[in-house]
Amino acid sequence: LDFMDHYFDLLTYLDNRKQRLEQFKRQLTESKLPEEKVDQEWSIYNGRERAYLRKRRTRMRMSHFQIVKQVGQGGYGQVFLAKKKDTSELCALKRMNKKLLMRMGEIQHILTERDILARTDSPWLVNLLYAFQDMDNVYLAMEFVPGGDFRTLLNASGVLRHECVRFYFSEMCAAVFSLHNFGYIHRDLKPENFLIDASGHIKLTDFGLSRGTLSPQIMESLRQKLERLKNAPLTLKSHNDRFNTYRSMRKELRAFTLVGSPDYMAPEVLVSREQGYDLTVDYWSLGCILFECLTGYPPFTANSTDDVWLNVYHWSKVLERPVYVGQDEEFNLEDCAWDLITKLIANHEDRYKIPEQIISHSFLEPYIKFTALRAPEGPKPPLIPKLTSSIDTSYFDDFNDPTDMERYKEVHQRQTDLEKSGSELAGVDTCRNLRSAFVGFTFKHNQAIPDHLPTLV
């Protein structure tokens, strides 16, 4: 695949260079310039082509970026708002430690994310600008989406009104459908994976699980856990109990979530060892997010991860429609909303199978025209981020604020523990394996090398 990428990129460059040459010759012929001016233009053209070639060959480095501010923290590294020094491009620069990725079996997930970001071109998906590496780290420079993630919006709002949910859920579906059209299943959808851009629209990100599955070791561990838990006593809690439990845990949950988030994971991802699963596992996750938007908590939330797994396994007993009375009666789900939830959170054979079933559902169709989403005449976002500048990071955690940092204490501790345990991965064989694992990782977006020449004056 890396060889295919390399030769496709090389052939694209050669084809574009040929087109630029033909364009230049055509412009020279049409301009009827005097001979001495023609020689001058040829000299400029050749100099420009040499500059393009040097730019293609330039090895990307962290020093080519100016770090503005940290905006994210994960188990394997950090995310920064950064500016590329020579082009002034703003990006979200994700830096990940190679040894930690190797230690945790995450290399394939990072390669998957890089491949998907490089191959897809959709307004619904976060775009990749650059990918590069050095001896210790790999880097993904992606477009900066300044409105924060949908989890932040949910935490601030609690329960969303149906008209707001229709907009956001429709755009989430459009983003997921776009990913499916490229031939990928996300497998790890959760509110944190949906970002809000400067105009208030949704973009999907975090594609680490979008080809294949969790690593075999992690999958086997999770399956063993499920096997151990599935016969444990099931405690059914009321709507109020689950709502209050989730609200009390929300800050801790916000800081860091394991891949394959149990709150939103379809049961067949773990149960179907031989049978596998299809893109409708993403529909299940969308149903869980829809439920959370309308109720304020995920449908299978619990005090512990083990209890969440248990709730997901016994989902048909746990999933219930919340009923509000008195002053909270306005929060009751519309019948069509509950019907859509039960068409998405369902056994595989009963679950919706194609986008048209979701698009035409009565919860959405009378209100949302999917073809008009993101169009000027389409539905307007309920919230447009209030940004003071292009480098406004107010919708992200402040990594200089001790209160915000308290939420990342476990993340930092986990990273420290991994670094200590990973210190043994320092041998020659490991270094060689790390180099070979990321062969072909480098990427530069097309705009970095122009396809066409500026018009001759």
Which residue positions form the known binding site? 94
Instruction: For the chain, give the number of residues.
Output: 457
Q: What is the 3-state secondary structure (H, E, C) of 375-425?
A: CCCCCCCCCCCCCCCCCCCCCCCCCCCHHHHHCCHHHHHHHHHHHHHHHHC
Q: Among all chains, which residue has been given the structure tokens 């897809």? A: 120
Contact 96, 110 (CB under 8 A): yes
Strand partners, 94: 79, 140
Nearest to 149 by CA among 197, 117, 195: 195
Residue 407 structure tokens = 């939420």
The whole-angstrom separation of Cα 360 and Cα 338 is: 15
Q: Which of 188, 206, 263, 307 is catalytic?
A: 188
List Cβ<8 Å contacts ≥24 apart for 220-225. 222/260, 222/270, 222/309, 223/270, 223/273, 225/306, 225/309
Contact 197, 90 (CB under 8 A): no
The whole-angstrom separation of Cα 318 and Cα 24 is: 68
Q: Residue 398 class from Cβ within 10 Å (0-12 exposed, 13-18 middle, 19+ buried)? A: middle
Q: Residue 115 class from Cβ within 10 Å (0-12 exposed, 13-18 middle, 19+ buried)? A: buried
CA–CA distances in Å: residue 104 to residues 99, 167, 186 = 9, 38, 20
Which amino acid belongs to residue 330?
E
Contact 289, 264 (CB under 8 A): yes
Nearest to 174 by CA among 212, 202, 147, 214: 202
* Gap between the terminal Cα atoms of the chain: 43
Provide the annotated binding site for ATP.
Answer: 94
Contact 226, 310 (CB under 8 A): no
Chain centre distance of CA 447 = 22
CA–CA distances in Å: residue 269 to residues 272, 284, 310, 457 = 6, 11, 14, 60
CB atoms within 10 A of CB 336: 15
Catalytic, 188? Answer: yes
Angle of CA points 428, 434, 439, to nearest 5°: 130
Contact 141, 129 (CB under 8 A): yes
Report, as residue numbers or ranges, the catalytic residues: 188
